[in-house]
Chain A
């Protein structure tokens, strides 16, 4: 079943009198338990598409059905609910709350889901253990390495058991070795049955995915399944039983 179904979506930004077409007539279907990479040059509209898929933004025209629900006309509040329950974000710049420790950062979506404190703490702790940070739960972001920060972000994305994980250049701020570790983590998450959509510049990162969508100037230029995807080696420092 399609988890994402977008039809003829476009997004137009008005800058002064000029119109910027960030997305033009994009039609896409993504199934449950897919691993999709979105590729394209800078300014091609990857982030715009990602924001749309993540219900952070609404299209200028076209229809977006998420889990068969039309979200293109939803109110801010309903979109917030969907983001909270169904979507896990991982950003290039991690986007953690700087003054809060790892546990509180991971706990945050559960607060907005209205889950009581004790259950929240337990689930957040479990999620941090799953990404191999069981011994760092009281560290603040500035007390963690880049890779560890991104793991906290991944734990935060996973803690609500969302329908999809959206990652916008998750390795963009990491060195290649650390990036590879994060990609290993994503692989495990994917193999555990999650749906992942990943934005990247880098060909070798995109090859981790099972399907690559290439966009250019807001168009979908190419959309094909990878015949032999790159499967990273298991990380030793991660738990035996991930997600």
Chain B
């Protein structure tokens, strides 16, 4: 054991000497490994980042909430068929709410894109969601200040607004937003509440932190014509176990409201988080496979490159091998020397790749919260070590089994 340690140490020193003598070549050789390791580290880091923000975001959708909509979030129904569906209307919502017995809460939402202003601060293209006071129960919002607009305010279409955390920050960089008058699409609204950060969602538009919530009546009065756009009916089940049952009931009620015959298919969609997760996993799966294919390919090319260089190196150093054998190097020692050399080269490539990946992930971090984790570092080191050993095996064996007399004769 101690013997092995000694040989490892001496072998490493010899390997470093050899690499130092041929720096430029070593660096060029590692290119494939550098690319491979960079891509594997970035991939796993980025996927983890996407995952985290997806999980954060999706939790704001709620596992126990159904979204009845004209549109499907992702669909196996043809797009043109979906397009021809009727919009979900406010009166349908009202009938639905009356008839549904199972849900814990039901609320409608309609969106519009407006400019939101306070004094000279102006934010364009903001999602304004019109809803009822029940939305606070279907969405599970938490507040950093104030409250959601009340039932009375909602029903009476008072000009009250609830701000997502990001909007509040941007619109009121220095002041407290509560009780201030803001302009939404040119109309005055009074801020009654500010949400806590809900966690951003990767699908951009659906970002609860970057929205303004107002009574649905005011939206229909000023921003959206009555039947221009479909509502979504948000239905919260009493708990996750009741989701399936609630969904069944919702489907039945909607079909009844729409007056569909048994043979007709539903002309609305009931969306839920679960489907989104599935869809997400599929997409990420494809990205993962593609990414690991690219990684694998560049590592493979890298390994071939290293093997090639090691063969050249063994050939060039035939005489050296002969000398070392003549003065007592065993096969094992020579084998180890070359294996260590290719491993060290690969490891250097891996470290360079890792550094590049860390720098790149800092850049990516501007858009997506990512950071290189310990497991990615371990992965990078393991991969480059294994590549080094695998690529070095054949050349090292060639060196180890050389006949010393022949090797010494080599010019």
Contact = CB atoms under 8 A, between A and B. Distances in A.
Interface string B1-13: 0010011001000
A168 to B, nearest CB: 10
A34 interface: no
B324 interface: yes
A77 B400 CA distance: 11
Contact of B10 (A76, A84, A91, A111): A111
B328 A80 contact: yes
A81 interface: yes
B16 to A, nearest CB: 12
A95 B3 contact: no
Interface stretch (B176-184, B329-337, B391-399): B329-337
Interface in A142-190: 156, 160
Instruction: Give the secondary structure class of B's interface.
Output: helix
A74 interface: no
Interface string B184-197: 00000000000000
A226 B363 CA distance: 83
A97 B323 contact: yes
B323 A95 contact: yes
Contacts of B320: 97
Contacts of A96: 323
Contacts of B328: 80-81, 83-85, 109, 112-113, 160
Contact of B329 (A80, A95, A100): A80
A54 interface: yes
Contact of B319 (A85, A95, A108, A109): A95
A113 B325 CA distance: 12
Contacts of A83: 325-328
Contacts of B21: 99
Nearest to A77: B330
Contact of A77 (B10, B319, B331, B408): B331
A66 interface: no
Nearest to B22: A99
A27 interface: no
B406 to A, nearest CB: 10
Contacts of B302: none
Interface residues of B, number: 23
B337 to A, nearest CB: 11
A16 interface: no
A112 B333 contact: yes
Interface residues of A, number: 27
Contacts of B17: 99-100
A109 to B, nearest CB: 4
Given A56-B405, A57-B405, A99-B21, A108 B6 contact: no
A156 B408 CA distance: 16
B38 to A, nearest CB: 32
A92 B335 CA distance: 27
Contact of A54 (B10, B324, B326): B326
Nearest to B328: A84
Interface string A94-112: 0111011000000011011
B404 interface: yes
Interface string B295-334: 0000000000000000000000001101111111111110
A64 interface: no
Contacts of A100: 17
B383 to A, nearest CB: 31
Given A91-B408, A95-B326, 10 more contacts: A57-B405, A76-B330, A80-B325, A80-B329, A80-B330, A81-B328, A81-B330, A108-B327, A112-B329, A112-B330
27 contacts: A54-B326, A56-B326, A76-B331, A77-B330, A77-B332, A80-B325, A80-B330, A81-B328, A81-B330, A83-B325, A84-B327, A84-B328, A85-B328, A89-B326, A91-B408, A95-B322, A95-B323, A95-B408, A96-B323, A97-B323, A108-B324, A109-B328, A111-B10, A114-B6, A114-B7, A116-B6, A160-B328
Interface of A: 51, 54, 56-57, 76-77, 80-81, 83-85, 89, 91, 95-97, 99-100, 108-109, 111-114, 116, 156, 160
